Amino acid sequence: MNTQLLDIHPEVAFALQNNQAVVALESTIISHGMPYPQNVETAMAVEAQVRANGAIPATIAIVKGRLKAGLSAEEINYLGKEGKNVTKVSRRDMAFIVATGQSGATTVASTMIIAAMAGIKVFATGGIGGVHRGAESNFDISADLQELAQTNVAVVCAGAKSILDLALTLEYLETYGVPVVGYQTAELPAFFTRESGFAVNYQLDTAQSIASVMRHKWAMGLKGGLVVANPIPHEFAMPKAQIDAAIEQALQQAVEQGIKGKESTPFLLAKVVELTGGNSLKSNIALVMNNAKLAAEIANEYVLKPM
């Protein structure tokens, strides 16, 4: 692995060298998740949440051809202002964006790759990608799932995005040996809602127990990450019927407009925001903040007893 292509922010590098807790954060939410300046304000608030819970934030991106583990305020503002002019980057795109000196907003998959290169073991995001509805005919499956199967990073999320086929997503993760852990819940949360009707593999109720599983999994040479499913706080959860109706309408519009591939998730989420009168965006921000808090707690526990 050539780490000469990687810039680790000095604060992040110092924390890693001194066995301090670090939490990776993705950048797709900045460039593709919401409008400017709300995107920048949210990114800075999430970083502040990580700090408030005793860890160092490392927002991940590609900036002008350089892999970045930790961004300056100026770089976060740049990604926010550029918005969708910045390429949404998954594993397949990384070499092309770096080789041509472009900037890229990292998805779950590419954030995991860069975090692993830097030595960061815990990553907080909103929701993971997964198997899209209709995948039995269009084979639309997020690269996030394959990355979880091979990259040693724990991903703290509010479950898989509710626009997905959750049953097939869980089946795919099981096939590739990726454990799905429910934090203080036996049921997989579905991003905007706390319930999905599907069980997680294991319920763990403390950050300490999650960190212990991480240490033991990787000590045994078992490749891949794990999904830590953290339900959205009760007060921000949306009624399941309302979200389901908005998703069905958004899916229909995506089909009508020929939206496919990596453009489908941002399109569907934006459409759900529109159809819910902005309520889903408030929920989205709240769940990311909640995940950042738990991720910081897990990162702190993980560095306490390195194996």
One DSSP character per residue, 129-156 reads --BBTTHHHH--B-HHHHHHHHS--EEE
H or E stretch at 109 = helix 108-118
**Which residues are CB-contacts of 60 (< 8 A; sequence separation ≥ 6)?**
24, 25, 26, 27, 68, 69, 71, 106, 110, 111, 114, 115
Closest CA to 299 of 152, 123, 149, 49: 123
CATH number of this structure's domain 126-307: 3.40.1790.10
What is the structure's pLDDT at 234?
Answer: 96
Three-state DSSP at 106 gives: strand
Which stretches of 72-183 are assigned E, i.e. beta strand? 87-89, 104-106, 122-124, 154-157, 180-183
Residue pair 167/299 in contact by the 8 Å Cβ criterion: no
Where along the chain do the CATH 3.40.1790.10 domains lie? 1-120, 126-307
Residue 270 buriedness (CB in 10 A; 0-12 / 13-18 / 19+): middle
Buried b (16+ CB within 10 A) or exposed e, 33-72: bbeeeebbebbbebbebbeebebbbbbbbbbeeebbbbbe
Residue positions annotated with a catalytic role: 26, 161
What is the structure's pLDDT at 2?
Answer: 67
H or E stretch at 75 = helix 73-82
H or E stretch at 94 = helix 94-99
Q: What are the CA-CA distances from residue 115 to residues 34, 142, 209, 231, 285 (Å)?
A: 23, 19, 22, 24, 22
CATH number of this structure's domain 1-120: 3.40.1790.10
pLDDT tens per residue across all 307 residues of the chain: 667 999 999 999 999 999 999 999 999 999 998 889 999 999 999 999 999 999 999 999 999 999 999 999 999 999 999 999 999 999 999 999 999 999 999 999 999 999 999 999 999 999 999 998 887 777 889 999 999 999 999 999 999 977 889 999 999 999 999 999 999 999 999 999 999 999 999 999 999 999 999 999 999 999 999 999 999 999 999 888 888 888 889 888 988 898 877 677 778 778 887 888 777 788 899 999 999 999 999 999 999 976 5
Closest CA to 131 of 94, 159, 175, 163: 163
Closest CA to 229 of 204, 252, 265, 197: 204
Three-state DSSP at 73 gives: helix
Residue pair 165/140 in contact by the 8 Å Cβ criterion: no
